[in-house]
Structure 1
């Protein structure tokens, strides 16, 4: 199914912007972690840096969502992109963790706004029937940026130190400004719609809870992200210490996971099921994650990890695409900022919990025990959720036209 010329133009701008900024962000994250390690910073400083990059999306979700739905996309992207570029210039010359960490949090605060803003554009820019392919195209290009960022960081930090990669990241935010100026598809710019019964503007979580299917999807996605992130902490120890693999092997495996995620999103985009089918697929993907963890736990050599990482990456890509498809199909256009920010908050909360739990458990158990426990727990959760999820899906409408309110029958 091909896109119209106007759809292709808008998708090119959104995909190009996200690819450039994600490459810059991952390059900045990698550069700062390497810099802190090289300057002898304690482990808690690195952990604080990672948390600073994630926490704003959780804490600022209610405000960010309202800003995205209230103000025009052009205004937000141009203003926030310019501020982020200036903050990255400051990061380029910061050397002390006490300065680096708050600056990182401020940059991430901007991402809490620009992420939902760009996410709200795609469903408006393309026909509903072409939404899965559109989301897959954006996810594919974004994945290439994610692959490129850490690799460029390693090269640039090795040759030039911290300053150059952070300045490159600052330049990457010019893509956000350019997107704001070039996009013809508008979002926001009007007063927020008030609920007819209460007279109040509904928050993102309230909007999600009004749709049984979205509520189920949010729970499944949060569980999946938490499980994957928990194991991300232990992968480097499994590869390097338990299986005695090289640092190159670890890097290549990480790249394989990311590349497989691109392929997984693309495959689902070509044959995306209806909304109920997408949520059933999420249930299956959670089971796949559980099996992947058990595969990691039992791998006898590094080479055995290759098929495991391949399957895990494919499942990860399907999970990522399912989010965009459901939000585009089932959420009113003027509410996508708030709902998108809510989903981002739960996803990043899962990331924070995964980091904390994974890091804490690794101090008392081996990587194999961590992966075994995580895999068994994931499969147990699937077994517990399967029946109520499938029952809930039968009571939820299979399809909602996002331009219309959620039917009363879908309310929880």
Structure 2
């Protein structure tokens, strides 16, 4: 479970966080601008759904390939090449207006994200000491949340003044941040690692997700819960605007509240993660935060006014930020360094796949039911999924302790040089 053995490279952490914040701002800026463009052009709801799926599907389908690529190719080469490709695609996107072309180019952009996302995620644990990873994760989560908050606001201002072209060109420029990070980071992985034995007793077994009961429980439970509650992303606009009679401004504030809540949630859980010396405790943390999200969604179904959704979404966002920190830290602890790109890609695919399932379920049910019972049903279904996974997690924790495997490699805890990193020191 290789972390850096020297001091943490905080300059690299801040560089990565800055690039993530800028690119996240550009992504949300472009997504908002494109949705407005399709609506203004008279496109159907199917076209808007196609836009969402085009931005998500490549991250799911390409995960096995891009995860291996992130582990085997030089991280600098990947970030620079993918960043330049995204600059070119997004620049072209600014000059097309046919819905089919827009959706196709968005899918190409998502292919680039499928490469850079696991690459950056796998780099982070290599930049810092094991004890500093929760703080580094919180810094990156903060930057992403700030970018996601700023993007829609800028889109609203820029689209009204200049149309969609200027926001899309700004998004294209934002991808240059990935190129800059690829060139400036001192931390690198992939490409030129020292060769490991291919046979014999010193060769470590290849990492497989199914061999790690704790990490597998996190991936499957997260995907199940997101599938259950992900439909609220489709439903909430109708719930706020039609059922609760909220204004478009209120709708924007509610959406921003979730992202704003992620900031304190990620930092609070990062402080808590320092004290969790057992990997199973991190898995329980994931379940608790997922349960908090679902419970908040269930309560939201009963609100009489849209304004009351703001504090509820702040709480849900805080739980979401905490879940991200726990899951990222667990992955970094339990996955060998050489396989982290693939692990983060698989986790991202589970999250995005759950989101896609939620979009489809929510959109289909809206044709049959009103928004309020659908919001309640989503929260309840999510809670059922969390409760159903509790015994699975308990059994997985017992199995992991009984076999003494700190990672999914099947290696006994006392037989590897990095075993101490899998069971953190009390200073964590």
Report if TM-score (shorter chain) is over 0.5: yes
1:408 deviation in Å? 6.1
Which residue pairs with 1:247 in the alignment? 248
Q: Distance in 2 between matches of 1:401 and 1:190?
A: 26
Q: Identify the residue that residue 399 of structure 2 maps to in structure 1.
A: 395
CA distance in 2, matches of 1:349, 1:193: 34
Q: Distance in 2 between matches of 1:257 and 1:179?
A: 28
Comparing 179-188 and 227-236, the one that deviates more: 227-236
**Which residue in the other structure is 1:313 paired with?**
317
Alignment of 1:128-207 (within 5 A): 128-190=130-192, 207=208
Q: Alignment partner for residue 65 of structure 2, among 52, 63, 66?
A: 63
Structure 1 residue 196: deviation in Å? Answer: 5.7
How many Å separate the matches in 1 of 2:198 and 2:266?
35
Specify every segment of 5 or more residues in structure 1 that has no aligned partner in the other structure, as ranges: none
Distance 1:303 1:329, change over 3 A: same
1:55-83 Cα deviation digits (max 9, x unpaired): 00011111101111111000111111111
Contact 1:329 1:400 in 2 (8 A): no
Matches of 1:325 and 1:113, distance apart in 2: 20
Matched residues in 2 for 1:5 and 1:256: separation? 36
**Aligned: 1:335 with 2:305:** no
Q: CA deviation at 1:271?
A: 1.6
CA distance 1:303–1:219, shift in 2 (3 Å): same
Root-mean-square deviation (Å): 2.3
Which protein is richer in helix relative to its size? 1
Q: Deviations over 1:257-310 (max 9, x none)?
A: 110012111110112123211111122223222311221111122233233212
Residue in 1 that maps onto 2:11? 9
Structure 1 residues 241 and 184, CA, compared in 2 at 3 Å: closer, same or farther? same
Deviation (angstroms), 1:193: 6.5
Spell out the pairing of 1:3-152 with structure 2 (5 A cutoff). Answer: 7-152=9-154
Return the alpha-carbon distance in structure 1 between the equivalents of residues 409 and 212 of structure 2.
10
Q: Does 2:233 align with 1:232?
A: yes
Task: Tell me whether 368-377 or 240-249 shows the greater mean CA deviation.
Answer: 368-377
Report how far residue 401 of structure 1 moved.
6.3
- Aligned partner of 1:373 in structure 2 is 377
TM-aligned CA distance change 1:49 to 1:185, over 3 Å: same
Equivalent residue, structure 2, for 1:304: 308
Name the CA distance, whole Å, in 1 between partners of 2:244 and 2:212: 46
| CA distance 1:5–1:128, change in 2 (3 Å) | closer
Secondary structure of the 1:95 match is coil
State yes or no: 1:407 paired with 2:411: yes
Displacement of 1:218 in angstroms is 0.6
TM score, norm. by length of structure 2:
0.89
Change (3 A) 1:369 1:194: farther
CA distance in 2, matches of 1:74, 1:138: 19
8 Å CA contact retained: 2:59, 2:352: yes
The runs of 5 or more residues in structure 2 that have no matched partner are: 1-5, 414-428
Distance 2:212 2:154 in 1: 42
Indicate whether 1:217 and 2:235 are aligned.
no
Alignment check: 8 A CA contact 1:13 1:179 kept = yes
State the TM-score, normalized to the length of structure 1.
0.92
Displacement of 1:14 after TM fit? 0.5
